[in-house]
Structures are given as C-alpha cells and as structure tokens.
Amino acid sequence: MTAPRSRNASSLRPVAGAGASGISGESAVGSFFHEDRHPWLTRRVRDVASGGEGTLTAIVHEESRAGTVRVAHIRRASGVEWSAAIDNIRLVPSSGSCQAQ
C-alpha cells in the first residue's frame, strides 16, 4: 500500500467552463476540497449514467492520474449514497414548475 500524496488547496483550481450538466467550475473550493457554495447542493439531481435520482450532497475535487477531477456525491431518500462524474448529472425540475393542462 502506498502512502497518499499530499495535496494543498493552491494546487486545486476549479475547472473552467461548464460541462454538459451546466455546472460551472466557478464555485470556490472550501474545506476538504469540497465546493461549499454550489447552487445545486441539496437539490434533486439525476445521474444520467445510472438513471438514479437523489439529493446532491457534495461536489469534491479529487486527484487522478489525469489531474484534478470533480466528483458529485448523490444520496437517495433511502440513505444510499453514490458518486458520479460531474458531467453526468442533471438538475431534476421541481414538480411545482410543471403545470397541469
């Protein structure tokens, strides 16, 4: 087992622009490499890769061989939580925005 590489906040820069999900990389990285002020936090989202829906609980900047990547953490109502690529999540429209016709 190898020791984890040390990271510092200055090496983690938000990803510029927005992916297909429309999530901009402009959110500031806070404690524990989380985006603390992201507008979708605590909102209902869908992971298009798995089809699962839940509440966005965190967006974390994680190191990979390719550099720093942004990972979304989503929790179902049952309490089960999973992670997904940030470009694979979409905001689920609130039921109040649809009007009966």
* Span 32-63, pLDDT tens digits: 566 777 899 999 999 999 999 999 999 998 88
How far apart are the C-alpha atoms of 42 and 54, rounded to whole Å?
A: 9
pLDDT at 24 > cutoff 60 = no
| Mean pLDDT estimate for the chain | 74
Angle, vertex CA 53, rays to CA 48 and CA 56, nearest 5? 100
* pLDDT at residue 14 greater than cutoff 80: no
pLDDT at 18 over 50: no
pLDDT reported for residue 96: 62
87: tokens are 């470009």
21, 62 contact by CB (below 8 A): no
Rounded average pLDDT over 60-83: 92
pLDDT at 100: 46
Task: Tell me, rounded to whole angstroms, the distance of Cα 3 from its chain centroid.
Answer: 26
Residue 29: its pLDDT value, please? Answer: 54
Q: What is the pTM of this model?
A: 0.64
